[in-house]
């Protein structure tokens, strides 16, 4: 018997002659919280609909709690789905909606008393107002409906809970508290496994035990948030997490301006450096001192710091920290660097030259992402006609 509550192997999903999801694998243990992260149109909703049984798989298999459900109808799958544009019954009150959802528990149908207890409990868990119970959906705001819809999905206590952009249409503070509640719910329950899809990297970092980064229907990388953040395997993955986004510099140009850097990397960079980029997270960059005589050259110090001169283009106060835009001197074709810093002594005057540093151990060499991958089939992955 499998120890996985959700196991997907080689899943392929087509819409007509268009391949939407290709060769998708995922294995989650009970209670695990997985966030599938990817840009609009990469196939996230399609994937959830297929796991829920609303779309057929062209190839591959889906197993829930060790049982192959690839050909099992949606109603018989122990799956709850929060749709991206949620459908609440317009003629039912919030309370009636929650009662029906609660009784749809496939493992054990609760009594009327238990149903009421579960409704009270889910209201408390998600911090929902009990005054909403007698109300119909049209009397609630979009954000309130979204939170009720989430309660409806969770109250059924499915084995696998699929959440399609749960924070959409919710204001920042409500989303913040909902994230906190979701983290608590997933921390408390060992019996429900979550698959949450979003294009928001911060959401993924906050909630996920495991992140799967998708592009054009294919998995680019999966791992813990720390693995993905610190060691992305390509530029698309590097850009998926972090705000402001990471800096990506052409590796060959950087190595031309500072050959010591190539030697300082633990393993020497591969030969074809034009296919590689140097990733620098904004928080890794520190301003060291003004370059008063304007003669500083890029170098690697004995303490393992890559130091280089920049021109300060812009400084913005983000409330407690600063966002800087810096132009590398000698690499004027490279895009300006973004840096975030809590340093107090940041100058106001733009146009001044500074020496910056980044620990070499914080630099990452990443492959430039292919524009569109075509993974081994006659059809193009990600919405392109064959
Ligand atoms: N019913 C459909 N028929 C044909 N193509 C579809 C259909 N629904 C979606 N698609 C296509 O499938 C691809 C993936 O769509 P999907 O909704 O899964 O993306 P997504 O990653 O969830 O995007 P978003 O974040 O914008 O919701 C898109 O190219 C879309 O145009």
Q: What would the pLDDT profile of 331-361 be if each residue is shown by its tens digit?
A: 777 889 999 988 777 777 889 999 999 999 9
Mean local confidence (pLDDT), 91-99: 94
Same domain for 209 and 303, yes or no, is no
94 and 168 share one domain? yes
pLDDT for the residue numbered 57: 97
**Mutual angle of helices 94-103 and 112-125, in 10-degree steps:** 110
User: Is residue 68 left, alpha or beta, with left meaning phi > 0 and alpha meaning psi from -120 to 50?
Assistant: beta
Report the nearest atom of ligand 1 relative to the CA of 42.
21
CA angle 32, 364, 303 (to 5 degrees): 120
Q: What is the mean pLDDT of residues 313-326?
A: 90
Ligand 1 atom nearest residue 84's Cα: 27
Token representation of residue 293: 């005589």
pLDDT, tens digit (0-9, with 9 covering 90-100), for 281-298? 999 999 999 998 888 899
pLDDT at 268: 53
The CATH number of the domain holding residue 273 is: 2.40.50.140
Q: Note whether 307 and 286 are within 8 A (CB).
A: no
Kindly report, residue by residue over 55-72, the tens digit of the pLDDT: 999 999 999 999 999 999
Report pLDDT for 286: 93
Q: Give the integer Cα–Cα distance in Å for 338 and 247.
A: 7
Q: How far apart are CA 48 and CA 8, in angstroms?
A: 12
Residue 381 pLDDT: 43
Closest Cα to atom 1 of ligand 1 = 15
Q: Is residue 279 part of a domain?
A: yes
Lowest-pLDDT range of 37-46, 82-91, 311-320, 324-333? 82-91
200, 221: one domain: yes
* Closest atom of ligand 1 to CA, residue 49: 18
- Best probe residue, ligand 1, of 18, 41, 58 (max atoms within 8 Å of C-beta): 41
Tell me whether residue 379 is in a domain. Answer: no
Would you say the CB of residue 41 lies under 6 angstroms from ligand 1? yes
Residue 274 resides in a domain: yes
State the pLDDT at residue 217.
96
Q: pTM of the full predicted structure?
A: 0.89
Domain count of the fold of the chain: 2
Residues 156 and 219 in one domain: yes
**Ligand 1 test: best mutation among 19, 20, 213, most atoms within 8 Å of CB?**
20
Residues 20 and 104 grouped into a single domain? yes
Q: What is the mean pLDDT of the chain?
A: 88
Whether residue 44 has pLDDT greater than 90 = yes
Are 334 and 226 in the same domain? Answer: no
CA of 164 to the centre of ligand 1 (A): 12
pLDDT given for residue 90 in this prediction: 85
Helix ranges (H only) for 22-131 are: 44-52, 94-103, 112-125
Task: Kindly state the average pLDDT of the residues 317-332.
Answer: 88
At residue 371, the pLDDT reads: 58
- Residue 266 pLDDT: 56
208 and 100 in a common domain: yes
- Which residues have C-beta within 8 Å of that of residue 185, sequence separation ≥ 6? 125, 126, 154
Answer whether 42 contacts ligand 1 (Cβ < 6 A). yes
Among 239, 259, 274, the domain boundary falls at: 239
Q: How confident is the model at residue 374 (pLDDT cuts 50, 70, 90)?
A: very low
Q: Of the candidates 208, 224, 239, which is a domain's last residue?
A: 239
More confident residue, 43 or 147: 43
Provide mean pLDDT across the span 314-319.
Answer: 88
Please indicate whether residue 383, judged by its CB atom, sits closer than 6 Å to ligand 1: yes
Under 8 Å between Cβ of 158 and 75 = no
Whole-number pLDDT of residue 1: 56
pLDDT for 373 equals 44
Give percent helix, percent strand, percent coil of the chain, each to the nearest 5.
30, 30, 40
Whether 339 and 276 map to the same domain: the answer is yes
State if residue 44 touches ligand 1 by the CB under 6 angstroms criterion.
yes
Cα radius of gyration (the chain)? 25
**Is the backbone peptide bond immediately before 33 cis, with ω within 30 degrees of 0?**
no
Rounded to the nearest angstrom, the distance between the alpha carbon of 370 and the centre of ligand 1 is: 21
Work out the average pLDDT over 299-323.
92
Give the confidence band of 218 by pLDDT, cuts at 50, 70, 90: very high
The reported pLDDT for the residue numbered 348 is 75
Mean pLDDT of 34-49: 96
- Does residue 373 form part of some domain? no
* Residues 79 and 157: beta-carbon distance below 8 Å: no
What three-state secondary structure class fits 328?
strand
Q: What is the mean pLDDT of residues 179-208?
A: 90
| pLDDT at position 270 | 52
Closest atom of ligand 1 to CA, residue 214 = 21
367 Cβ contact list (under 8 Å, min separation 6): 233, 234, 235, 275, 276, 277
Q: For residue 29, what is the DSSP state?
A: -
% of the chain beyond a pLDDT of 70 = 92
How far is CA 200 from each of CA 38, 167, 185, 204, 280, rounded to the nearest angstrom? 8, 10, 20, 7, 20
- Nearest residue (by CA) to ligand 1, atom 26, is 40
pLDDT of residue 7 exceeding 80, the answer is yes
Reading across the β-sheet that carries 210-215, which strands appear in turn?
79-82, 160-164, 193-198, 33-37, 210-215, 218-223
Give domain status of residue 195, yes or no.
Answer: yes
The answer on 203 and 109 residing in a single domain is yes
The CA–CA distances, whole Å, from 66 to 61, 328, 329 equal 11, 54, 58
Among residues 194, 223, 239, which one ends one of the domains?
239
Whether residue 382 is predicted with pLDDT greater than 50 in this model: the reply is no
Ligand 1 centroid from CA 225, angstroms: 25
Instruction: Indicate which CATH number applies to the domain containing 60.
Output: 3.40.50.300
Same-domain check for residues 220 and 268: no
pLDDT at 269: 53
Please tell me the distance between residue 374's alpha carbon and the centre of ligand 1 in angstroms.
18
Q: Does the C-beta of 200 come closer than 6 Å to ligand 1?
A: no
With a 6 Å cutoff on the Cβ, whether 216 touches ligand 1 is no
Instruction: Kindly indicate the confidence band of residue 378, based on its pLDDT and cuts at 50, 70 and 90.
Output: very low
Run of H or E including 240: helix 235-240
**Of the residues 16, 39, 44, which should be mutated to test ligand 1's pocket, given the most ligand atoms within 8 Å of the CB?**
44
Same domain for 221 and 314, yes or no, is: no
Give the distance from CA 133 to its chain's centroid.
Answer: 33
Residue 374, in any domain of the structure = no
CA separation for the pair 82, 10 (Å, rounded) = 24
User: How many residues are listed for the chain in this entry?
Assistant: 386
Q: Which residues pair with 221 in a beta bridge?
A: 213
Are β-strands 193-198 and 160-164 bridged in parallel, bridged antiparallel, or unpaired? parallel
Q: Give the three-class secondary structure for 116.
A: helix
- Probe target for ligand 1 pocket from 13, 15, 200, with the most ligand atoms within 8 Å of CB: 15
The residue assigned the tokens 């992140």 is 211
Q: Which domain holds residue 355?
A: 244-367
Other C-beta atoms within 10 Å of 177: how many? 13
Same domain for 163 and 103: yes
Cβ-based neighbour number of residue 8 at 10 Å:
23
CB 326 within 8 A of CB 288: no
* Distance between Cα 197 and ligand 1 center (Å): 13
């Amino acid at each position: 018997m499998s120890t996985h509550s959700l196991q997907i192997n080689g899943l392929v999903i087509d819409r007509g002659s268009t391949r939407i999801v290709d060769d998708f694998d995922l294995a989650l243990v009970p209670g695990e919280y997985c966030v599938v992260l990817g840009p609009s149109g990469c196939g996230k909703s399609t994937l959830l609909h297929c796991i829920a049984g609303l779309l057929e798989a062209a190839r591959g298999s889906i197993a829930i709690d060790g049982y192959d459900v690839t050909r099992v109808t949606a109603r018989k799958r122990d799956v709850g789905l929060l749709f991206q544009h949620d459908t609440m019954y317009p003629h039912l009150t919030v309370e009636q909606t929650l009662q029906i959802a609660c009784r749809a528990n496939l493992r054990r149908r609760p009594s009327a008393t238990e149903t009421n207890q579960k409704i009270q409990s889910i209201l408390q868990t998600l911090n929902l107002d009990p005054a909403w119970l007698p109300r119909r959906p049209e009397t609630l705001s979009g954000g309130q409906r979204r939170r009720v819809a989430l309660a409806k999905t969770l109250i059924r206590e499915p084995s696998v809970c699929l959440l399609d952009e749960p924070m959409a249409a919710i204001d920042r503070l409500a989303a913040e508290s909902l994230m906190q509640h979701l983290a608590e719910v997933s921390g408390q329950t060992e019996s429900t496994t979550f698959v949450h899809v979003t294009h928001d990297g911060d959401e993924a970092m906050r909630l996920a035990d495991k992140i799967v980064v998708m592009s054009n229907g294919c998995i680019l990388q999966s791992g813990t948030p720390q693995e993905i953040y610190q060691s992305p395997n390509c530029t698309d993955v590097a850009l998926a997490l972090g705000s402001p986004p990471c800096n990506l510099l052409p590796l060959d140009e950087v190595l031309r301006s500072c050959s010591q850097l190539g030697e300082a990397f633990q393993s020497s960079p591969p030969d074809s450096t034009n296919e590689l980029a140097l990733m620098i997270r904004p928080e890794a960059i520190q301003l060291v001192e003004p370059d008063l005589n304007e003669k500083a050259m890029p170098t690697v110090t004995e303490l393992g710091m890559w130091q280089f001169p920049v021109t300060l283009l812009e400084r913005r106060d983000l409330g407690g920290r600063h966002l800087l835009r810096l132009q590398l001197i000698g690499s004027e074709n490279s895009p300006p660097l973004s840096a975030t810093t809590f340093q107090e002594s940041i100058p106001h005057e733009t146009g001044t030259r500074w020496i910056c540093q980044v620990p070499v151990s914080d630099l990452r060499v990443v492959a430039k992402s292919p524009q569109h991958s075509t993974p081994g089939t006659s059809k193009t992955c990600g919405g392109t006609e064959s």
